[in-house]
Amino acid sequence: MKKQFYYLVAVIAFAFSCASQQESMDALIKARLYHSVEQYKLMAHSLIDQPDRLPRSFDAEGNLVTSASSWWCSGFVPGTLWQLYEYSKEDELLNYARNYTARVEKEKYNRGTHDLGFILYCSFGNGYRITGDTAYRSVLLVGAESLISRFNPTVGSIRSWDHNRAQWQFPVIVDNMMNLEFLFWASRVSGDPKYSQISISHADVTMEHFFRPDFGTYHVVSFDPESGLPEVKNTHQGFSDESTWARGQAWGLYGFVVMYRETKDAKYLEQAKNMASFMLDHPNMPEDKIPYWDFNAPDIPNALRDASAAAIMASALIELSRYVSDDLTKKYLQVAETQLRTLSSPEYFAEKGSNGNFILKRGVGHLPGNSEIDVPLTYADYYYIEALLRFRAL
């Protein structure tokens, strides 16, 4: 009996020892990408007979929430399918990626949204990059024209929203930094510099008017379209006008990293580094590096975390790590690794067939509007997969 007891103790000790050994990032990324491929096959199959619908979220009652192609998130599921196809080379995913990308094509004519980068560049942009399909190129160039139709040269920015006219004359949101990469692509492919010139103007106006001294960002700045001057600085999805909405900060960080990549102008690199420092060194950033939905949420540490903000931030930090000194490279990659490990844990990473077939749980869409709270979000999945692939390529 004593021998069996000591044997059992040894087995338990060995099991705890194995559990305490952290899975390598290579193994973790391979496992999560394999799972994500299987999950997104289920996702794509679930709406294959509804060609006018795209996945949007999964509600608390267990229902898949869908959208039309005009919804600002419509390009993320096609984009994720393209990324997973590029990784897996599975023809089934290629077919799904083409099918879902075709669902958003008509948005190339949509001049009522600033989100054509999200809608078209994540879908058709990835498709063109991976396949070289010239039909995709044509769609994108039409879409780029639609996007720049919203540019006001007096303000120097692309208008974000057409609603809320009583509150704002010419609203611009920090999220709009994410649509500038699309325009740089359009200039490269078309040979016309106007698209990149508009991107540079928009980014410069954002740098001048959206940031507080600590490099936290306002969500919405509305301009007087006649004078071009800012009239009011607010939030729409954050806690308050003077708080820093986590996903907005992540959008801005990612956008300025892209601006540096595309222009090699050092001012954009400095802006990205300062924005990263705000997030990484903020006293309200949790140890596991998944931000609270707002850095100034009143109920911290009980406030909701936002998986989407973490995924966007991780992807941005991985790219930013390529452009900075060795000490910052190490710091950024350590944070991104922590974020990816946390997002890959059971708390955030869904089991196969659960979570409406989305990959990540616990996203926060628009808490003040009581919309998409603590649910899966398509953009969380998209930037999580992008971050895994970027880390894998290091």
- 15 pLDDT higher than 60: no
Q: Which tens digit of pLDDT belongs to each residue from 211-250?
A: 999 999 999 999 999 999 999 999 999 999 999 999 999 9
- Average pLDDT of the chain to the nearest whole number: 94
pTM score of the predicted model: 0.94
Beta pairing partners, 154 = none
Q: Which tens digit of pLDDT belongs to each residue from 167-182?
A: 899 999 999 999 999 9
- At residue 166 the predicted structure's pLDDT band, cuts being 50, 70 and 90, is confident
Phi-psi map region of 164: left, alpha, beta (phi>0 left; psi -120 to 50 alpha): left
Higher-pLDDT residue of 323 and 2 is 323
Catalytically active residues, by annotation:
115, 175
Mean pLDDT of 188-217: 98
Say how far apart CA 361 and CA 350 lie, in whole Å: 6
Q: Which tens digit of pLDDT belongs to each residue from 59-85?
A: 989 999 999 999 999 999 999 999 999
Q: Which tens digit of pLDDT belongs to each residue from 146-160?
A: 999 999 999 999 999
Place of tokens 């705890």: 16
What is the set of domains in the chain, with CATH numbers? 33-392 (1.50.10.10)
- At residue 163 the predicted structure's pLDDT band, cuts being 50, 70 and 90, is confident
Beta pairing partners, 57 = 65
Torsion of the alpha carbons at 161, 167, 173 and 179, rounded to the nearest 10: 10
Mean pLDDT of 290-312: 98
What pLDDT is attached to residue 280? 98
Strands 151-152 and 220-223, bridge-based pairing: unpaired
- 3 pLDDT higher than 90: no
Beta pairing partners, 375 = 363
Q: Which tens digit of pLDDT belongs to each residue from 332-368?
A: 999 999 999 999 999 999 999 999 999 999 999 999 9
- End-to-end distance of the chain based on CA atoms, in angstroms? 52
